[in-house]
């Protein structure tokens, strides 16, 4: 069994066959999917989907791209959404200095505010970091110790990985680890102990090889896990076991050992 720890099931790309996408994931051995909020609308949608499907859990938060649109009442709503038992984390939050769709200082302030919300609610965080490695780690070091979380679609170097692990964070790998030119990322994944790794799709984006450039979906998280297994020269089952246990631990998911059918109605 596997857990797709980062999906965007609310995306327009799934509008025509969302239920079938979830069913395919279950059939492929994906026992749980965490659908991630990126703004207020998608956070509400993530919670709604988690209420509709037993295998789906939600996170709520505002992505750095939308930081400039955050209002005071939005933060109050995020706190209310977090009260839902299907909401397992605050995220996707962080910094993105690649596209800079919101001013850097505003991104930082909204990141800090949502980290504080997570601390108050005792929730882990799902962190987005693009071209902002030093700034992201400095904020996490200052404000997120003891909070716990994951650096999603990890793109940092060995030193950053070690720092994140020391802080109690998991590193999550997605489709890019299967790309032929991702040699540095592959080497890093080979070195990181399994007990610190999560797997994800970030669907509908970042489809793994051989689906690169096409729509991604949760069932494909198996390809990410298989690549990690190949890099480490261990069985896929061992990667699945470890990453599922890590996801359960971080997000407080029901244990795979609890009585339940292998493929549940969703």
Rounded Cα–Cα distance for residues 66 and 119 (Å):
21
Domain layout of the chain by residue ranges = 2-251
What tens digit of pLDDT does each residue of 57-67 get? 999 999 999 99
Report DSSP state, residue 203: B
**Fold adopted by 2-251:** TIM Barrel (3.20.20)
Confidence of residue 259 (pLDDT cuts 50, 70, 90): very low
SS3 state at 95: strand
pLDDT at 261 over 90: no
Kindly report, residue by residue over 164-173, the tens digit of the pLDDT: 999 999 999 9
Joined together, the tokens standing for residue 164 give 């994140």
Question: pLDDT tens across 59-109, in order?
Answer: 999 999 999 999 999 999 999 999 999 999 999 999 999 988 999 999 999
pLDDT (tens digit, 9 = 90+) per residue, 14-50? 999 999 999 999 999 999 999 999 999 999 999 999 9
Is residue 24 within 8 A of residue 18, CB to CB? The reply is: no
pLDDT given for residue 256 in this prediction: 61
Q: Looking at residue 92, what is its pLDDT? A: 97
- In whole angstroms, give the CA distance from residue 124 to residue 29: 25
Question: Of 160, 216, 159, nearest to 151 (Cα)?
Answer: 160
Predicted confidence band at 260 (pLDDT cuts at 50, 70, 90)? very low
Question: Binning pLDDT at 50, 70 and 90, where does residue 257 land?
Answer: very low
Please tell me whether the overall predicted TM-score, pTM, comes out greater than 0.85 for this model: yes
| Contact in structure between 231 and 184 (CB atoms under 8 Å) | no
Q: What is the mean pLDDT of the chain?
A: 94
Confidence of residue 255 (pLDDT cuts 50, 70, 90): confident
């Amino acid at each position: 069994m596997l857990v797709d720890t980062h999906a965007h099931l609310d995306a327009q790309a799934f509008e025509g066959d969302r239920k079938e996408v979830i069913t395919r994931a279950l059939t492929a051995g994906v026992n749980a999917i965490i659908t991630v909020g990126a703004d207020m609308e998608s956070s509400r949608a993530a919670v709604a989907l988690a209420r509709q499907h037993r295998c789906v859990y939600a996170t709520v938060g505002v992505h750095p791209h939308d930081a400039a649109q955050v209002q005071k009442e939005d933060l109050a709503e995020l706190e209310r959404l977090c009260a839902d038992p299907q909401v397992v984390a605050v995220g996707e939050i962080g910094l993105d200095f690649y596209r800079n769709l919101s001013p850097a200082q505003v991104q930082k302030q909204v990141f800090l505010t949502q980290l504080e919300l997570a601390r108050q609610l005792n929730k882990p965080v799902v962190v987005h970091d693009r071209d902002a490695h030093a700034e992201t780690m400095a904020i996490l070091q200052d404000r997120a110790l003891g909070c716990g979380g994951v650096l999603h679609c990890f793109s940092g170097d060995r030193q950053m990985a070690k720092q994140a692990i020391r802080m109690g964070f998991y590193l999550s790998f997605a489709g890019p680890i299967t790309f032929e030119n991702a040699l540095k990322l592959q080497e890093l994944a080979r070195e990181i102990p399994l007990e610190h790794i999560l797997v994800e799709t970030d669907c509908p984006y970042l489809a793994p090889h051989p689906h690169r450039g096409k729509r991604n979906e949760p069932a494909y998280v198996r390809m990410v896990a298989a690549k990690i297994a190949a890099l480490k020269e261990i069985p896929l089952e061992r990667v699945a076991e470890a990453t599922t246990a890590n996801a359960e631990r971080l997000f407080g998911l029901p244990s795979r050992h609890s009585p339940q059918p292998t493929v549940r109605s969703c």
